Structure 1
């Protein structure tokens, strides 16, 4: 048993020496430069100018925007009914119906602006529903 312990110690020393010799001389290495990357990707959020408060909706054009999530259109349909019933001269456009037909997608803001230009409207107010 005693001989086995010495054998293990000697083998360990030989392995350490062989590893040190094969590694070569120790040379000062240049500092490593790391670039941190967010695995979720980078999201550039651009500031949005908030519109001034509207005193009244009478005679205004209101666009209702639905993000495509479940039951969001139900909320906006009911809101459209209430606006039509309670506000005189309001024009309510639903983004998912004619004449806009903007399907929910990645760059919705650009699609909405394009649809407004195509139809020739300039909405006074946009109401969005983020329903789930």
Structure 2
């Protein structure tokens, strides 16, 4: 069964967002997304220092089935990328909410978090899709 942690926010494009204590957010793709994609073989994150805008494609995850864009849920500056994914993209499959995170962003506008789905709304979204 798909995991949907209650402490995260979600997008309709199947990204998750964790608010960190320093005004930054950590972003990745959801368990539902990685299940749909299958075994991941490549991740192309944005570059650290890049300025991203909410709802724009900023990264790519590629599986044995397909390539898929990752959309940033919020605007801001990419302050860190998960370098481990270059050699181990499968971490997104095995630990999507932990070691499989993709990037960290310094929030430009914290109010953008209010537009994201909570866990219950995200579970409803994936139930409607299934």
Q: The TM-score by the shorter chain falls in which range? A: under 0.3
If each structure's helix is expressed as a fraction of its own residues, which one has the higher value? Answer: 1
TM-score norm. by structure 1 comes to 0.24
If each structure's strand is expressed as a fraction of its own residues, which one has the higher value? Answer: 2
Look at both structures and tell me which one has the larger radius of gyration over its CA atoms: 1
